Amino acid sequence: MTEAARRRTFAVISHPDAGKSTLTEALALHARAITSAGAVHGKGDRRGVASDWMEMEKARGISVTSAVLQFSHRDQVLNLLDTPGHADFSEDTYRVLAAVDCAVMLIDAAKGLEEQTRKLFDVCRHRGIPVITFVNKWDRPGREALELMDEIESEFRLRPTPVTWPVGIAGDLRGLIDVRDPEHMLRYTRMPGGSKEAAEETVPAARAAAEEGEDWERASEELELLGESGGLHDPEAFLAGKSTPVFFGAALSNIGVRLLLDAVVDLAPAPAARELADGGRQPVDAPFSGLVFKMQANMDRSHRDRIAFVRVCSGVFERGMTVTRAASGRPFATKYAHSVFGQDRSSVETAYPGDVVGLVNAASLRVGDTLYDGPRVEFPPMPTFAPEHFSVVRPVDIGRSKQFRRGIAQLDEEGVVQVLVSDVRGEQAPVLAAVGPMQFDVVQHRMEFEFSAPVKLEPLAYSVARATDTAGGEALNRSRLVHGEAMVRVKDQVVLALFPSRWHVSSFEREFPDHPLEPLIAAHETG
C-alpha cells in the first residue's frame, strides 16, 4: 500500500498537433529522466522524441501508437502513457485510458477545443478519470484565456479552476502566476530550441507590476474575477470529475512544465480499487492482478519479440511468478518482465499497483486479458469500435505467403486493425477493417519493414458495420435487393454485416425483419 501510494499513472491526450509528444518529452526532461528533449521531427542535431520510437512515427512526426515512460519525481514514481492524438487511432487511446488513474489534456491556445478533444473529454468522463488541463503554445498568438475557460465550462459542464495564469496575451507571454502564490510572478528565459529547461525567475508582485504594467494588472483582475465566481481548485470536485485544474504554458519552450509535473504528484490520485466484470471491485492490497491493455511487436528489431503491456491493478508483481489468464484459465510464466521507457527497457524484478510491466514473448495473451494470482478475478472487457473503412489485403509476392499470414495475424492480435474473413474470399484475401484510413498506412509500413511481406490494398465500398448472427449473414449474402456482405471477425468470431450506407442497413431490416442487426460502438462513443 505504501508503494501504491507513491504511484501516479496518467496519460497525456490531445487533438493531433496540440503538442502531446513534445509535452511528454518536456515532463521527462523536468523529472531528470532525460538530459535533452527531442523534437518530433528531429530537426537539426536533435533526435526524435523518446516516446515516438516507430520508424513511421519518426518519419511523419506523429504518434501512431501509445508509449510508456516511467520515471521518478519528488520521490514519487510516475508512469506516463503517451497516446496517439489522431482520431484514426481512437481504439489505442481508449485502451490506454483503461489503464490510467488520471489524464493530462492538452488544448492548443489558438484552436481551443477541437473535435478529438471533445471526444476524449467524454471518454474520461465515462470512465471516471479526472482530467488536468494544460493550455499549450501560449508563446504563440491565440485566444483569450477567459474565453477558453468559458468554452471548457459551457461545452463540458466541467468547472475550470486555474492553478497557473498567464501574464500577457497569447503570443506575448510575460510570465505565469501560481494561484497558490499570487504575490509573485514566474518569469522564463527560453533556451535555444527548447532542448533544455527554461530558466525560471521568481519576481515579487510589486516589481512585476512595475515592469509588466497593464499585463500584470489585467492578469490580477482576471484571477480576482475567477476567484469570486468559484473558480479555485477543489480537490473533491476534481476527483469526482466535476472540475479540471488548468495550467498555462508552452511545452516546446519548457514553460510552465515544472508546475504541471508537480501537479501530477500533488493532485493526481494514486491507484485505487478497480471495477470488476461482475460488478465488484478489486482492492489495491488484494493478491496480484493485472490488465493487458496493449500488445506491441518488434520494439526490439534485433529480437523480433512481442510485448504485452500490463497495468498492475492490485498486489505485488514479482518476475518469475506464474499467473493465470482469466480468459482461458491457463497459467502464464512471467520469466521475461521489463520496465519500459519508450523503446528502451530493462528487467524489472518487482512492480506495484499503478506500474506498467512489459511481458516479453507473450504470444498467448490478448488485449483486454486479465492476469491474476490467487482467487479468480476478471476486469471488464475492452470495447471494439465500429470500423468505417474496409480493404482487401493481399501479398505483393505470393512467395511470402507465410510471412503475410503471420504478419496479418499479429497485427490483428495487437489491435492495429480488425481482420475479417469469409468463405467466399478465402484466407488469402482477408479484409482489413479500420476506424480510420491511417491504420491502413501503419499496416502497409509494418508488413513491409517488420514482416518482409509487402502488401497491396483494394478498398471496398462499405462504410457501415453491424453485428448479426450466422443466419443474418447468410440472409445478407443471398439478398438480391440489398448490397452488402457478411464476414466473420477473426479475433472473436462475431459475424459482421457490411453495408455501403445506413440506407442499405434500413433496406436489409425491411427485407429481413427476423434478422435484427446490432449497432457497434462508434469511435466517438464511450459506452
Other CB atoms within 10 Å distance of the CB of residue 353: 31
CA atoms within 13 A of residue 190's CA, in its CB half-sphere = 12
What cell does 89 get?
A: 487511432
Helices 115-127/90-97 angle, 10° precision: 30
Secondary structure element (H or E) that encloses residue 188, with its range: strand 184-189
**86 has binding-site annotation:** yes
Q: Closest Cα to residue 23, out of 230, 253, 348? A: 253
CB atoms within 10 A of CB 454: 15
Which residue is listed with cell 519518426? 58
| DSSP code for 429 | S
Known binding residue 241? Answer is: no
Residues 6+ apart with CB under 8 A from 353: 3, 4, 7, 271, 284, 312, 313, 314, 315
Residue 150 marked in a binding site: no
Cα distance from N-terminal residue to C-terminal residue, the chain:
31
Helix residue ranges, H only, 254-400 = 257-267
Residue 293's alpha-carbon distances to 27, 52, 92, 435, in angstroms, are 23, 18, 9, 18
- The grid cell for 122 is 467524454
Q: What DSSP assignment string belongs to 237-289?
A: HHHTTSEEEEEE-BTTTTBSHHHHHHHHHHHSPPP--EE-TTS-EE-TTSSPE
Euclidean distance between CA atoms 308 and 313, whole angstroms = 15
Asked whether 253 and 175 are in contact (CB, 8 A), the reply is no
33: cell is 529522466
Three cell numbers at 476?
A: 445478407
Helix, strand or coil, per DSSP, at residue 475: helix
- Number of neighbouring beta carbons within 10 Å of residue 228: 9
Amino acid in position 196: K
Q: By the 8 A CB rule, do 470 and 515 touch? A: no
Q: How far is CA 294 from the centre of its chain?
A: 11
Q: Is 146 helix (H, G, I), strand (E, B) or coil?
A: helix
**Are 130 and 212 a contacting pair, CB within 8 Å?**
no
Q: Is 213 in a helix, a strand, or coil?
A: coil
CA 305 to chain CA mean position, Å? 23
Give the residue ranges of the annotated binding site for GTP: 82-86
Q: Residues forming the annotated binding site?
A: 82-86
